[in-house]
Amino acid sequence: MGKKHSVLVIDDQETTIWALTRMLNSDYNVYAAKSGVEGILAAERHLPDVILLDILMLDMDGYAVITELKKSEKTMHIPVIFITGLYGDDNEEKALALGAADYITKPFSPDIVKLRLRNQIRMLEQLRTIERLSMHDQLTELPNRRSFEIRLKEEWGRSAREHTPLSALVVDIDNFKIYNDTYGHQQGDAALQAVAGIFPRVLKRTSDFAARWGGEEFIVLLYNTCADGAKDVAEQLRKHAEDMEIPGPDGITKVTVSIGANTREHGNSCSVNEFISAADMALYEAKNKGRNRVCCNVN
């Protein structure tokens, strides 16, 4: 059985909270908050899939609550369905203009609430699937360049806050054009997949992050890793690639990789672009020195 989706009910009427909880708790994990302020805190804490929100509340009305939810990066994308006693096109128009996903009036029909909620969950799942596909390379099943750039921004900030080193490895398959021309593009794809399969075997920490950078290039981000540690990981990757055998229709083929490593030590200043460029420069050095080797920089 898959994980239950979650719903947060924000309403200052206990009878409404009780009715919605009783109606939904067999299909969803239901959280409840009895005021607007409580609801905002609960949304940030639980990050529900959908929020059911009343408008008429004493401390903070639903319009103010959704406005605050949409300001926060943590909660701004959570669909909000208003369930309210306020009738009239003006009220519904205002709610939708503030970002509400749907608008249901009281007294509500349980079947209507369930169907509207189910529709939001379905759309949410579709959006998550699209987002997941847009962040991954379909051939290698690794995160793609866009995903890496988002992760790099996060780790760059974390490294600065925690005063820890950050390392990057740029990994390039040697003579890949010749390999493609010799064995064909289908075998070239097999080689890319085989190299991609090395990263999960070498990168054991959850903070380590590998992505397909483009073409025959991959990139690795190593949080809290000094230059010596980055060189060690790079050598492991290089050796795994060198030892790997790639089956093909004409027998076993082999590839090697060149790797450029760069480390930003705490206290050294450089931009994100300079950080990645230095790893690229180290890669070119490895290529110029004969390939199938690791070269390192330190910023």
Residue whose tokens read 């076993």? 252
Closest Cα to residue 137, out of 246, 222, 210?
210
CA dihedral sign, ordered 224, 228, 231, 237:
negative
- Determine the Cα–Cα distance for residues 137 and 224; give it in Å rounded to an integer: 26
Give Cα 78 to chain centroid, integer Å: 16
Catalytic residues, by residue number, are: 216
Amino acid at 33: A
Cβ atoms of 135 and 148 closer than 8 Å = no
Q: Which helix (DSSP H) or strand (DSSP E) does residue 148 occupy? A: helix 145-162
Residues sharing a CB contact under 8 Å with residue 65, sequence separation 6 or more, in sequence order: 10, 36, 39, 40, 53, 57
- Single-letter residue type at 130: I
Q: How far apart are CA 261 and CA 280, in angstroms?
A: 8
- Asked whether 67 and 55 are in contact (CB, 8 A), the reply is no
In the three-class reduction of DSSP (H, G, I as helix; E, B as strand; rest coil), residue 227 is classed as helix
Give me the phi and psi of 282, to 5 degrees please: -65, -35
Based on DSSP, count helices (H) and strands (E) in the chain, helices before strands. Answer: 11, 12
The two three-digit tokens of residue 234, written as one number: 């790079």
